[in-house]
Amino acid sequence: MKKALCQVVGFGPAALGVAVAADRGGVLDRLLGEGLVFLDRHTEGPPGGRRLPYLIESNSAASDFLGAVDPAGAFAEALAGPAARLLSDRADRHVPLTVAGAFLDDLAQVVAATAPDALIRADVASLRRGADGTWTSVTADGTPLVTSRFAVLATGGHEDTALTARRHGIPPSRVLPSGELLAGKLTYVVGRLRAGGQVAILGGSHSAFAAAALLLDRLGDQAPRHGVHVVHRTLALGHPRPWAMDRPAAAPVMAWEVCEETGVVNRFHGLRGVARELCLKALSGSEDRLMLHDATHAPPGILSRADLVVHATGYRTRQVPLYDVDGRPVALSRSDGAVDVDDECRVTGADGAVVPGLFGLGLGYARQDPYGRRRVGVNVFHGTDADHVVRAVGSVCPA
């Protein structure tokens, strides 16, 4: 078993933020030297697997993926690579997620090259708290992996299609996670539409409209009229500033929330780019291959009629079970299936108290803004969120 100062479970997009923030704060070498390690179950491709393998454009501006990285720091090499150059060229525009993912893979390669021992390929089945307050990661067969004073959960989220199927009385085999579709599993869905079938996409998010745009793009004129249906509650368009707002008349369910920090309207969930354009076209009636359904009061019949339902209503935490010093499960506070963290990204228990030494970072643990929206975005995970982790871990680490 290895001893470390801080173990990060997961080495996906969010986990990288710990290394990026440590570098930005000038403490990366020190933390790696004292024992900052990353554990990930992915064994193929770059360390931690290929990141963001989706066939759509980002909802964020390209520069958001670069903004947290110190140009004079350890990741300068990644910033000089082809993916970073493409991101930099696109600046405030949207960018294919595969490009953003390639840049994140480049960041991971830098960590792998700088400190190969800091990366551990392992499937963490649980984290157990010791009598001295440390956390030990353990495999499914009970083998201890790493013991550390701090642990960061960065295991991401999953789409609970079984729950959605149960809630709406749909056979589970007819519900597909949006992530699979966006990652290119399109053949069956496209085939059903070509044959005149109908596909319902559940959710009004970027993923939902991006999935609809991807299907319509693949099918072109072969997409049947009213073949694709988006079933939403509120719709939220992104606007760079309140005065740039162009609220369409035919949109009774528009959300309107102004970020206190940036002034951006619907900062974390507003539609942008291709997704926004498609939503506006559907609202104006100029896109007859797509129908919108407001499910605020009742689920529309299309959910039971459709050949396939694409789940795009968000992610639940991919959780690693936690046990206290007596071997009892530690219950965590959750909202909508995601684990709650406080303002400093510390994981909170079901009793509302902070779980000592434990942080949450990324999709399954995103902090909430004043409207209760999860602050999801690589720039947030690599920026303020990872800063909280690095500050706490660095504070006990000798200079």
Binding interface with ligand FAD (CB under 6 A):
9-15, 39-42, 48-49, 52, 54, 58-60, 64, 97, 123-124, 154-156, 179, 182, 207, 318, 320, 362-363, 376-379, 381
CB of 390 to ligand FAD, least distance (A): 16
CA atoms within 13 A on the CB side of 394: 19
CB of 302 to ligand FAD, least distance (A): 22
CB of 42 to ligand FAD, least distance (A): 4
Of residues 52 and 302, the one with the C-beta less far from ligand FAD: 52
Residue pair 183/54 in contact (Cβ under 8 Å)? The answer is yes
CB of 221 to ligand FAD, least distance (A): 26
CB of 291 to ligand FAD, least distance (A): 22
The alpha carbons of the chain give a radius of gyration, in whole angstroms, of 22
Distance CA 99, CA 192 (A): 30
Tokens of 106: 């480049």
| CA distances to 34, 37, 360 from 28, in Å | 10, 12, 19
Distance CA 337, CA 339 (A): 7
Tokens of 43: 């064994």
Tokens of 257: 């929330």
Of residues 124 and 341, the one with the C-beta less far from ligand FAD: 124
Closest CA to 4 of 154, 152, 146, 153: 146
Distance CA 242, CA 191 (A): 42
Distance of alpha carbon 195 from its chain centroid, rounded? 34
What φ, ψ does residue 274 adopt, rounded to 5°? -60, -40
Of residues 10 and 227, the one with the C-beta less far from ligand FAD: 10
Of residues 266 and 397, the one with the C-beta less far from ligand FAD: 266
CB of 283 to ligand FAD, least distance (A): 22
CB of 53 to ligand FAD, least distance (A): 9
| Neighbouring C-beta atoms of residue 53, cutoff 10 Å | 15
What φ, ψ does residue 179 adopt, rounded to 5°? -55, -40
Q: What is the DSSP letter of 383?
A: I
CB of 21 to ligand FAD, least distance (A): 14
Of residues 49 and 349, the one with the C-beta less far from ligand FAD: 49
Of residues 31 and 146, the one with the C-beta less far from ligand FAD: 146
Q: Exposed/middle/buried for 323, CB within 10 Å: 0-12, 13-18, 19+?
A: middle
Of residues 202 and 397, the one with the C-beta less far from ligand FAD: 202
Of residues 348 and 379, the one with the C-beta less far from ligand FAD: 379
Distance CA 9, CA 42 (A): 12
Distance CA 183, CA 174 (A): 18
CB of 399 to ligand FAD, least distance (A): 30
Of residues 64 and 340, the one with the C-beta less far from ligand FAD: 64
Show contacts of 135-141: CB within 8 Å, 24+ apart.
135/7, 135/357, 135/358, 136/1, 137/7, 137/9, 137/39
Of residues 359 and 381, the one with the C-beta less far from ligand FAD: 381
CB of 318 to ligand FAD, least distance (A): 5
